[in-house]
Amino acid sequence: MPYWYYDKKDLQNTPSFRDGISTETENRYRKEGARFIIDTGSKMDLGYNTVATGVVYFHRFYMFHSFKTFPRYITACCCLFLAGKVEETPKKCKDIIKVAKPLISEQKFSTFGDDPKEEVMTLERILLQTIKFDLQVEHPYGYLLKYAKCLKGDKSKLQKMVQMAWTFVNDSLCTTLCLQWEPEVIAVALMFLAGKLSKFEIVDWNGRTPKHNAWWDMFVEDITMDLLEDICHQVLDLYSPQTQQSGGDSPTENTAKQTKNEKKPPSITPPASASPVAAAMSKPVTTPLKNGGESKPEPPKMEPLRFSYPSYPGIPFAPPVYSAPPPGAMHPVPAHVPPHSVPPHSVPPTHPVPPPHPVPPHPPHTVPPPHSVPPASLQRTSSKSPAPRCSCQRATSQLFPSHADARSTP
């Protein structure tokens, strides 16, 4: 199977970078594509495993292709379409495009071309060849729950820490962490970050031995503090203020500056003063969706008719040619009258059919017996006319003696 983990120097020498796209712009494109997959999957009630699988396909695809060659939003729809089939939560391609269209502008949706469905279906074959048909992907969610069950401490604080770590795992999909480290390492690092921010210190855990210096040594070995801090900083960088507007391609310098009185559009990320913990606590806690949820289809809305056709005048009513009377309306036959005493005139007379003309028989053909000997006067003794050797010649000579004489005369 292919090895899907790269060093940081490999992540800075991608096909997009060699195609003239800066590293900052490529990271922004990756973030927008991942966020687009998450928003589309959430609106279609897809599970977290399906959404995360689609995002991993997205990041792996652009390790071999450039953003200039394949637009990111078409690739995002294709990755979500394939992930739905892999995670057994399939959605129709046209439904994904229908839900995804309102999430982007008309200019960005124009990259789908005249036939968006055909574009996505064609790209699916390229995606399968790019990821080398390695469809099964593991995510940190399962390891997060597995590790949390082994920890000891206050249940409410532990649940709060796990919920915060789950949120960090969701946000880590917008980074390239899935291309750098295994899901076990990411789960440990984000639980470490959530424990620090929620002030939940893990002192004891199940299965602890003297050789374990920290709780994660029981699950993953040789994890250093530098590695954990590097992963945590990559996630925390998502909450820093953006230096460039997200959404469109590289904006030009001649854009109109906003005045002081003009209202600024709401920012997607929290301000620099707000910590990710405060942002997470301000939002209502939501339980992650279970994988496999299906959305109930709504009945189509019927539009009113623009005009109504006039009623057809029809043909004037005519009585039927024959209608049988109901059974009670028929005159019953008196009981004292025998069944054979019905007068004969009540039965309608029937006209006799004349017999067919006889066909005169043809007289049979009389054929002489095959073994009859002809008279002596018809026999020839000349050597020039030998006797017929077959039955057909013999019968001909018997029926047409003159023809035989004419054949035998010199």
Q: Copy the structure tokens of residue 124.
A: 């699916």
Identity at 29, one-letter amino acid code = Y
Q: Tell me what pLDDT residue 212 has.
A: 86
Intervals of the chain under pLDDT 70: 242-410
- The residue among 124, 139, 149, 92 whose CA lies nearest residue 291 is 139
Q: Tell me what pLDDT residue 222 has.
A: 86
**pLDDT (tens digit per residue) in 123-152:** 999 999 999 999 999 999 999 999 999 999
Apex CA 32: angle with CA 26 and CA 34, to 5°? 100
**Dihedral Cα 315, 317, 323, 326, nearest 10 deg:** 140
CB proximity list for 174: less than 8 A, separation 6 or greater: 30, 31, 34, 35, 238
Q: Tell me what pLDDT residue 95 has.
A: 96
Residue-range domains of the chain with CATH: 8-131 (1.10.472.10), 140-237 (1.10.472.10)
Instruction: Tell me how far apart the alpha carbons of residues 223 and 269 are, in angstroms, rounded to a whole number.
Output: 30
**pLDDT (tens digit per residue) in 153-162:** 889 999 999 9
Q: Tell me what pLDDT residue 153 has.
A: 87
> Quick one: CA dihedral 143, 144, 145, 150, positive or negative?
positive
